[in-house]
Amino acid sequence: MHNKKLIGLIIIDFLLISLLISTIFIAINKKNNHTDTANHVSNDFIGLKFSIFKNFITMDSTELKRLNPQFVYGFKQADVENVECIVSQTSRTQSDTVMAEILRDGTFGQIKKNFPDAQLVDYQLFNLRNGLNAIKILVTYHKNNVLLKQIEVAATTDARTTFAFCTSPSSLYDYYQTKFDNFLSSLEVY
């Protein structure tokens, strides 16, 4: 009787150890097979790092400069019109602190200048990945009779002001929101 209990315990121990080893193997295998879904950009010359989804294609510099000479990086969804993420920078002549409200008003004012029907939907303080204070705004406006939503982050350093924004048709915004949030949350400015 004692031998049967001992054999039973050995079998149970063997099964538990096998289960544990299998679980560890599966976890390691999943980790090693995990593919990165983002492209990572790092440019020390302009003090910028971020990640953008791989299914967004890079806009060429000619297209970016045509849109705005201050645009330094741009990405768009290849098969969907008006879905894009852009990074822009301007040089600063003074290294003083810029109040969040002034940054918000200036950022929104520039959007309003280009799109007079622009509406400020949301505004909040935001911290970049590297801890730099920033602002985040959500606006809507029409472009070529399409209602667009634009989420934008703006931050300043002593040397420059950086703007990163993503735009999509309002009807597609919920679909792209996680991708946009991941892009903006990855932003580091230094």
Q: Report the pLDDT averaged over residues 75-91.
A: 95
How high is the pLDDT of residue 69?
Answer: 94
- pTM of the predicted model over 0.95: no
Do 17 and 105 fall within a single domain?
A: no
Distance between CA 94 and CA 132 in Å, rounded?
18
CATH code (residue 135): 3.40.1000.10
Q: Give the structural domain span for 30.
A: 1-34
Give residue 72's identity as a one-letter amino acid code: V
CA-to-CA separations, 31 to 26, 52, 146, 173, in angstroms, rounded = 9, 21, 42, 31
Do 13 and 56 fall within a single domain?
A: no
Distance between CA 114 and CA 68 in Å, rounded?
11
Q: Report the pLDDT averaged over residues 58-68.
A: 94
Do 115 and 77 fall within a single domain?
A: yes
Give residue 100's identity as a one-letter amino acid code: A
Q: Report the pLDDT averaged over residues 57-84.
A: 95
Do 27 and 61 fall within a single domain?
A: no
Mean pLDDT computed over every residue of the chain: 88
Do 141 and 68 fall within a single domain?
A: yes
The pLDDT tens digits of the residues spanning 4-56 come to 666 655 666 554 454 445 445 444 444 444 457 899 999 999 999 999 999 99
Do 171 and 137 fall within a single domain?
A: yes
Do 17 and 46 fall within a single domain?
A: no
Do 25 and 105 fall within a single domain?
A: no
Q: Is the pLDDT of residue 98 over 60?
A: yes
CB 169 within 8 A of CB 90: no
How high is the pLDDT of residue 36?
Answer: 77
Determine how many CB atoms are found less than 10 A away from the CB of residue 187: 21
How high is the pLDDT of residue 117?
Answer: 98
Do 19 and 92 fall within a single domain?
A: no
Cβ-in-10-Å burial (0-12, 13-18, 19+) of 23 comes to exposed
Cβ-in-10-Å burial (0-12, 13-18, 19+) of 107 comes to buried
Do 18 and 48 fall within a single domain?
A: no
Do 127 and 139 fall within a single domain?
A: yes
Distance between CA 168 and CA 171 in Å, rounded?
8
The pLDDT tens digits of the residues spanning 122-160 come to 999 999 999 999 999 999 999 999 999 999 999 999 999
Looking up tokens 């919920």 gives 174
Q: Is the pLDDT of residue 114 over 70?
A: yes
Determine which helix (DSSP H) or strand (DSSP E) holds 120, and give its type and residue range: strand 119-127
Distance between CA 74 and CA 60 in Å, rounded?
8
How high is the pLDDT of residue 5?
Answer: 66
Do 80 and 168 fall within a single domain?
A: yes
Q: Left (φ > 0), alpha (ψ -120 to 50) or beta: where does 139 sit?
A: beta
Q: How many domains does the chain have?
A: 2
Give the 3-state secondary structure of residue 114: helix
